Amino acid sequence: MSSPESNVDVLIVGAGPAGMMMATWMARCGIKTRIVDKRGTKVFPHRSKKQNQWLTKQIFNGQADGLQCRTLEIFDSFGFADRAWLEANHMVEICFWNPDASGRIVRSGRIPDTIPGISRFQQVVLNQGRIERFFLDMIEKESDIRVERGTLPTALHLDESKVEDSDAYPITVTLRHLSEEEATPTQAATSTNGVTVQDGLFRSNLAPDDTAEILRAAAAKARGEGLDAKADTTEVVHAKYMLGADGAHSWVRRELGFALEGESTDYIWGVLDIVPITDFPDIRSRCAIHSAESGSVMVIPRENKLVRLYIQVTTTEKLDDGSAGSRVDRSRITPDVILKSAQKILAPYTLTYRTLDWWTAYQIGQRVGTHFSASERIFLAGDAVHTHSPKAGQGMNVSMQDTFNLGWKIASVIKGTAGRSILKSYEVERSSIAHDLIKFDHKFSRLFSGRPAKDVMDEEGISLDEFKEAFSKGNMFASGIAVNYGPSVIVAKPLESNGVNGSNGSNGVNRANGANGIDASKKVHSTQDLATGIKVGMRMPSVKVLNQSDARPWHFQERLTSNGTWRVAIFAGDLSRTDRKTALATLGVALAAPTSFLRRFTPKGGRYDSVIEVLTVHAGHRADLDLFDFPEVLRPHDEIDGWDYNKIFVDDVSYHEGHGEAYKNYGIDAAKGAVVVIRPDQYVSYVGSIADYGSLDRFFSGFMIPQQ
Amino acid sequence: MSSPESNVDVLIVGAGPAGMMMATWMARCGIKTRIVDKRGTKVFPHRSKKQNQWLTKQIFNGQADGLQCRTLEIFDSFGFADRAWLEANHMVEICFWNPDASGRIVRSGRIPDTIPGISRFQQVVLNQGRIERFFLDMIEKESDIRVERGTLPTALHLDESKVEDSDAYPITVTLRHLSEEEATPTQAATSTNGVTVQDGLFRSNLAPDDTAEILRAAAAKARGEGLDAKADTTEVVHAKYMLGADGAHSWVRRELGFALEGESTDYIWGVLDIVPITDFPDIRSRCAIHSAESGSVMVIPRENKLVRLYIQVTTTEKLDDGSAGSRVDRSRITPDVILKSAQKILAPYTLTYRTLDWWTAYQIGQRVGTHFSASERIFLAGDAVHTHSPKAGQGMNVSMQDTFNLGWKIASVIKGTAGRSILKSYEVERSSIAHDLIKFDHKFSRLFSGRPAKDVMDEEGISLDEFKEAFSKGNMFASGIAVNYGPSVIVAKPLESNGVNGSNGSNGVNRANGANGIDASKKVHSTQDLATGIKVGMRMPSVKVLNQSDARPWHFQERLTSNGTWRVAIFAGDLSRTDRKTALATLGVALAAPTSFLRRFTPKGGRYDSVIEVLTVHAGHRADLDLFDFPEVLRPHDEIDGWDYNKIFVDDVSYHEGHGEAYKNYGIDAAKGAVVVIRPDQYVSYVGSIADYGSLDRFFSGFMIPQQ
């Protein structure tokens, strides 16, 4: 019997954070999508302490990560940041502990964990299971997309002759469906205090990939026991686009023949998630603790009284079997081994626990993929293209941000509003970030795993000043706010400007120059000076403005929801000035013309703001103007809903929440104004003059497809 | 066959907001509870505009109300304020419109809707269906309590001989279960623009009670068609306590023989929930519009583009059948009649709509129940004891606050931690509020329904100044923050002090004097001067403080969650002063003693904070102290969880959210400190000195029951 065949617009392999973020975009944009994951239902038998019964519990209760403030901004654009914010532990302060002259650890400093002022959110910590739940709720609420678990791809073919054909399904994938039992990997469990505790070693880089094991188990079962109707069937799926978000052992990446390049170190770290019983006074702060001779601990306070400890395991010589490049014998790392290391580092403070929630161990290493896509049809994201140590709290964030960058681009191309040229920007933008990430992680890990310097003459040791300086710089990178995308058809900035303001290194620039796809004759030039606080290539910063119609304060970013829409933000300036009023009226006429880019790129019958939304922020006093003082194109009329009251805002003082000082914070002169183009992912494409309608039109014409 | 019989601690009749709030308390406190409602599942056939199909839709999509800032504080104490805050429309500004000299309406002023600074929330608007959903989600998450719909009481008996016996079930109720069909009242539906729209007349005071109609229909069906297994059976329930939250036509109230006293007026108001199409510029603000000759409109902007219009119907003479005291013929009030009134009032601005969501009409009147309880065993709440006009946006709020006041008291008595003496305070506290409410409504309705004064000589008309002044005063009442409970065993303040700071009128004071149950020999005296910003009898105001252990800013109110726990807040003052440090140590010794009220009133085996939680807020710099510098009783140790990191706070500047200035805002001198006792519903019981342990002990001894 031949396998059933079907078509889908997007096939996502892997339902971790990167795959879920992709599915969320597809749900929002109404794209026909399937998402599969080789593992079965996420439940794990777990002995309840209170009732002494076996209960099922979501697996991966470890896998916590910090959520960067940028990640929370992204969650908010999808409408669920509040859930994360409420449930998470807020990580407010970092404390540094180092040996004093006598070798005893003492608190050597405190700094804020999130740099004040860079975002309306601060870094928080929450376990991955809850974050996946928020994604799932969102996807189920807004679409028919459902995660298909126990399903894995076994064959992949890309028809290169069809990759530029927008109607084609050039990707053919064979999917195999396993029974639930087959899809559940055998997991190690550790007994502690009489309670069985799941460990995370099966996902650690100390463990081999389990895909082959899952398939062997399925085949054996099929031979021996027969199958139920659902189990171990195959089907063939034809897809327009595909995402491999299937982790560090990515099957998709290997099928494409792409490699990860990089190196491992000898440093072994253990992770314990415990409810600590300790007289160490800073256990609820993030701490970087360097002992004189016993290694380092990082403390990450979590939700529900838990604390995560990253602990340098100083007994590697005993664990290693001695052969060069060999992996450590994982069976010899136990919670007790890790705890004993922690106790040595924290002495004379005491540390013990009665509740162990999860634990794992890993070897530090950093690797980046050679390619992020095959012909801009099959893309890789997350651990499939970059792996590094978990301690910096970056992995989940960078992975989700990969697909946050990619999702709206693929959706626009599938919907026919944008051309395929924008897809090249994914690799340009994200490989640069991945290289920055592993450089950051490499430096950070070395500093953190190294021995503290005994004095200024101790050149092999890490000095406290060196560490603190690196930590502070790292904090800006780790916030996710420093991301600064290079020039492309969707980022109108000079080639040489890249990397000046932000974190992008040379990798990004080199790739950008080769792949940005900009036609010099159509080049659009930003005028960055008109809005010095809104950097082209970086995410739109947020300050509060008031709705003109009802005086409600909004963070401007709250109006930039993730629905696939581009925004043109018109900072109209002070409209009590005749020149500003005239300039706005002139722009209004151009925007309202039947030939304007607003009209040309919006599908017939589509809502006026479905492809490009125009938002206006004027300076001055809200009470001096009414909605009807603005050109109609800025507050469009709908025959069912009347006027649109959610497009015009003002930079004025609120009744209850102070003054956002938007013009001041954005560096815009109210006597001049500015126009800003913002991508669907909140990154700034262009800054220019209100008088320059031509550049706006040329910008959108560079990649958008005219509609009938 | 005899009916089955069962016991329950609390029986709630009516699943509107007052009943739901009661059930929420019971869920939180783990009390065995049933909640019944005579109406069936809340669905209503509704024609979808887009798909032209009949869909089911939750009924009561009207029934919107403003949510006071105090109500949002209460929601937050149960953990769902964020859901209301996100979904609701925020009502920020009030605009006044009045006739100018030529008789044309013009904007005569703007004020903030919520008085700035009185709460961390502002008034919002959201339909009742969503609010009931939040309650239901909460109740289902935290308990086994489920609303039993299509279930109504048909007989009630209270055994007076057993009311003081704490183990007795003195209430016997017969419940009748209807089939779904029987429990759905026949509702009027109106056709507008080709779409059938549900109206709210069946719940308006222009309609008679439908209980008898529901029962007749059930009986007829039983005779004619036979019954399925569930339908039309009866059972007998024995309850310790009972709540009648069954609306203005309350069956419970009538069974008890209690009356509502008050009066009706001739004013008829119509309500339209529409998506307006209008050139009136302030349609997204709350507006009070007085026309010269055509009556008044109040505009309440709602969620989802809806606007509620309260419109004075000026054609009453045509609708009234002429007989004195008769009710208006409701069949002659239609959306078109109401819209035409609105158009006349708003002229020369235009008003029309394509989307009508809901409408109703009502006659203004104010009535209050003669009794709020029978022997402190059966209680009445919400519309069952006070009815008034909906326009002030108070009904749902005051109803929910009735049972927010009552729920924890009943739970404490059932759990055996408090004596029945605290139950008398329900009527003392809430009848006073009900009388304030109808006085407010009476005045407000008269002002609003009256004709605007033509000039200063026009004594019959309402002057603009008179209206604006009343409106501003009313705003404080309408916030819910002004509530100031009188003296009782749980409010330690002098009898004569009541009503001075807040809104309580003479009714409340008179009742309080007669029923407060205070034994003069055990009287506890507050020292209000030690915390001038924390008024005994009012709700604890909220400012931000930092957690000592992790530097996270919290609104102090966020730590006062509704879980039935009393709080002792120790404002320890500046602990760099030797006298403050000594005073705190002395209090710590008293609290830690085996004979302290903390120990005596906490059940054996109960957690240290299960009845009374101690929270400490010190002044000065967070970095100068560690958790371990505080007496252990203030940061108790648990053998599983270690130290408690969530009890000690500091009034210091935060990294990201400024300085709460708690001592300044609370009016506490850091050189003296203060102790504040806070009820489980966040109202302040007592303010005194840190040195006065005796008053604290005497206060709790006045109503708490010693545990073995």
Q: What is the pLDDT of residues B470-483, one digit of tens each?
A: 777 788 888 999 99
- Comparing alpha-carbon positions, the chain A residue that sits nearest to B116 is A656
Alpha carbon of B582: minimum distance to chain A alpha carbons (Å):
22
Tokens of B12: 């709630």
Averaged pLDDT, B269-281: 93
Percent of chain B with pLDDT over 90: 66
Query: Which of A50, A92, A96, A299 best tests the B interface by mutation, with the highest count of B CBs <10 A?
Result: A92
H helices of A162-262, in order, are: 211-225, 251-256
pLDDT at A475: 83
The answer to whether residues B201 and B451 touch, using CB atoms and an 8 Å cutoff, is no
Cβ contact, residue pair A552, B626, below 8 Å: no
Alpha carbon of A359: minimum distance to chain B alpha carbons (Å):
18
Kindly tell me if the per-residue pLDDT of B410 is higher than 60: yes
Q: Smallest Cβ distance to A92: which of B552, B623, B639?
A: B552
Work out the number of other CB atoms within 10 angstroms of the CB of residue B345.
Answer: 24
Kindly tell me if the per-residue pLDDT of B245 is higher than 80: yes
- Comparing alpha-carbon positions, the chain B residue that sits nearest to A79 is B86
DSSP codes, A599-662: HHTSPTT--TTSSEEEEEEEES-GGG--GGGS-GGGS-EETTTEE--SSEEEE-B-SSS-B--H
Averaged pLDDT, A306-330: 61
Work out the number of other CB atoms within 10 angstroms of the CB of residue A703.
Answer: 21
Residues of A with CB below 8 A from B283's CB? 549, 645
Kindly tell me if the per-residue pLDDT of A205 is higher than 60: no
Kindly tell me if the per-residue pLDDT of A402 is higher than 70: yes
Catalytic status, residue A281: no
Q: How far apart are CA B410 and CA B564, in angstroms?
A: 10
Cβ contact, residue pair A549, B284, below 8 Å: yes
Tokens of A426: 């994914």
| Kind plus residue range of the DSSP H or E element containing A567 | strand A566-574
Cβ contact, residue pair A628, B279, below 8 Å: yes
- Burial state string for B97-118 with b = 16 or more CB within 10 A and e = fewer than 16: bbbeeeeebebbebebbbbeeb
Residues in chain B: 708
Chain centre distance of CA A30: 21
Q: Who wins on pLDDT, B298 or A269?
A: B298
The answer to whether residues A231 and A177 touch, using CB atoms and an 8 Å cutoff, is yes
Averaged pLDDT, A407-414: 98
H helices of A450-529, in order, are: 464-478, 506-515
Q: Residue A450 — very low, low, confident or very high, per pLDDT cuts 50/70/90?
A: confident
Residues of B with CB below 8 A from A554's CB? none
Name A530's Cβ contacts closer than 8 Å, sequence gap at least 6. Answer: A668, A669, A672, A673, A674, A687, A688, A689
Residues of B involved in catalysis:
65, 302, 310, 390
Residues A506-534: tens digit of each pLDDT: 333 334 444 455 566 678 999 999 999 99
Residues of B with CB below 8 A from A628's CB? 279, 281
pLDDT at A231: 60
Kindly tell me if the per-residue pLDDT of B452 is higher than 90: no
ipTM of the complex: 0.88
- Comparing alpha-carbon positions, the chain A residue that sits nearest to B642 is A277
Catalytic status, residue A116: no
pLDDT at A652: 98
Averaged pLDDT, A288-301: 91
Q: Who wins on pLDDT, A134 or A293?
A: A134
Q: How far apart are CA B297 and CA B448, in angstroms?
A: 9
Cβ contact, residue pair A552, B623, below 8 Å: no
Cβ contact, residue pair A551, B285, below 8 Å: yes
Cβ contact, residue pair B640, A284, below 8 Å: no
Residues of A with CB below 8 A from B547's CB? 284
Name A522's Cβ contacts closer than 8 Å, sequence gap at least 6. Answer: A698, A701, A702
Query: Which of A93, A114, A282, A545 best tests the B interface by mutation, with the highest count of B CBs <10 A?
Result: A93
Q: What is the dihedral of CA A315, A318, A321, A324, to 10 degrees?
A: 50
Tokens of B76: 């937050």
Averaged pLDDT, A172-191: 71
Q: Residue A267 — very low, low, confident or very high, per pLDDT cuts 50/70/90?
A: confident
Dihedral (CA of B315, B317, B318, B319) sign: positive
Alpha carbon of B658: minimum distance to chain A alpha carbons (Å):
11
Q: How far apart are CA B263 and CA B11, in angstroms?
A: 31
Cβ contact, residue pair B275, A640, below 8 Å: yes
Examine residue B112 and say whether the peptide bond preceding it is cis (omega within 30 degrees of 0).
Answer: no
Task: Report the helix count and the strand count for chain B, using DSSP H and E.
Answer: 16, 32
Residues of A with CB below 8 A from B655's CB? 92-93, 112, 114, 116
Nearest in space to A697 (alpha carbons), one of A618, A593, A620, A605: A593
What are the structural domains, with CATH classification, of chain A? 5-64+127-259+370-418 (3.50.50.60), 519-701 (3.40.30.20)
Q: Residue A502 — very low, low, confident or very high, per pLDDT cuts 50/70/90?
A: very low
Q: Who wins on pLDDT, A671 or A361?
A: A671
Q: How far apart are CA A127 and CA A113, in angstroms?
A: 19
Kindly tell me if the per-residue pLDDT of B138 is higher than 50: yes
Q: Smallest Cβ distance to B82: which of A86, A116, A643?
A: A86
- Comparing alpha-carbon positions, the chain A residue that sits nearest to B85 is A82
Name B206's Cβ contacts closer than 8 Å, sequence gap at least 6. Answer: B327, B328, B330, B333, B361, B362, B363
Mean pLDDT value across chain A: 86
Nearest in space to B361 (alpha carbons), one of B405, B307, B312, B297: B312
- Comparing alpha-carbon positions, the chain B residue that sits nearest to A628 is B281
Alpha carbon of B52: minimum distance to chain A alpha carbons (Å):
16
Averaged pLDDT, A541-566: 98
The one catalytic residue among A302, A330, A539, A622 = A302
Cβ contact, residue pair B551, A285, below 8 Å: yes
Cβ contact, residue pair B623, A278, below 8 Å: no
Q: Smallest Cβ distance to A656: which of B114, B284, B656?
A: B114
Query: Which of B24-33, B228-237, B674-683 has the least mean pLDDT?
Result: B228-237
Kindly tell me if the per-residue pLDDT of B45 is higher than 50: no
Averaged pLDDT, B576-580: 97
Q: Smallest Cβ distance to B93: which of A285, A640, A655?
A: A655
Kindly tell me if the per-residue pLDDT of B697 is higher than 80: yes
Cβ contact, residue pair A655, B92, below 8 Å: yes
Half-sphere exposure of A143 (CA within 13 A, CB side): 20
Lookup result for tokens 């497809």: A705
| DSSP code of residue B328 | P
pLDDT at B248: 87
In DSSP terms, B287 is beta-bridged to: B95, B299
Tokens of B154: 């048909």
Q: Residue B616 — very low, low, confident or very high, per pLDDT cuts 50/70/90?
A: very high
Tokens of A324: 């060069």
Query: Which of A131-135, A680-684, B509-513 has the least mean pLDDT?
Result: B509-513
Q: Residue A554 — very low, low, confident or very high, per pLDDT cuts 50/70/90?
A: very high
The answer to whether residues B159 and B172 touch, using CB atoms and an 8 Å cutoff, is yes
Cβ contact, residue pair A355, B628, below 8 Å: no
Cβ contact, residue pair A550, B93, below 8 Å: yes
Q: How far apart are CA B677 and CA B537, in angstroms?
A: 11
- Comparing alpha-carbon positions, the chain A residue that sits nearest to B643 is A277
Alpha carbon of A453: minimum distance to chain B alpha carbons (Å):
26
Half-sphere exposure of A539 (CA within 13 A, CB side): 24
Q: Smallest Cβ distance to B655: which of A92, A277, A626?
A: A92
pLDDT at B577: 97
In DSSP terms, B687 is beta-bridged to: B676
- Comparing alpha-carbon positions, the chain A residue that sits nearest to B89 is A552
pLDDT at B171: 98
Alpha carbon of A121: minimum distance to chain B alpha carbons (Å):
9
Name B657's Cβ contacts closer than 8 Å, sequence gap at least 6. Answer: B544, B553
Kindly tell me if the per-residue pLDDT of A500 is higher than 80: no
- Comparing alpha-carbon positions, the chain A residue that sits nearest to B551 is A92
Alpha carbon of A289: minimum distance to chain B alpha carbons (Å):
16
**A462 exposed, middle or buried (CB, 10 Å; 0-12, 13-18, 19+)?**
buried
The answer to whether residues B706 and B600 touch, using CB atoms and an 8 Å cutoff, is yes
Q: How far apart are CA B489 and CA B702, in angstroms?
A: 6
Averaged pLDDT, A371-385: 96
Residues B161-184: tens digit of each pLDDT: 999 999 999 999 999 998 766 666
Residues A73-112: tens digit of each pLDDT: 999 999 999 999 999 999 999 999 999 999 999 999 999 9
Query: Which of A255-269, A287-301, B558-572 has the least mean pLDDT?
Result: A255-269
Residues B82-137: tens digit of each pLDDT: 999 999 999 999 999 999 999 999 999 999 999 999 999 999 999 888 899 999 99
H helices of B450-519, in order, are: 464-478, 506-515
Chain centre distance of CA A563: 17
- Burial state string for B362-382 with b = 16 or more CB within 10 A and e = fewer than 16: bbbbbbbbebbbbbbbbbbbb
The answer to whether residues B93 and B283 touch, using CB atoms and an 8 Å cutoff, is no
Residues of B with CB below 8 A from A94's CB? none
Percent of chain A with pLDDT over 90: 66
Averaged pLDDT, B241-246: 97
pLDDT at B49: 38
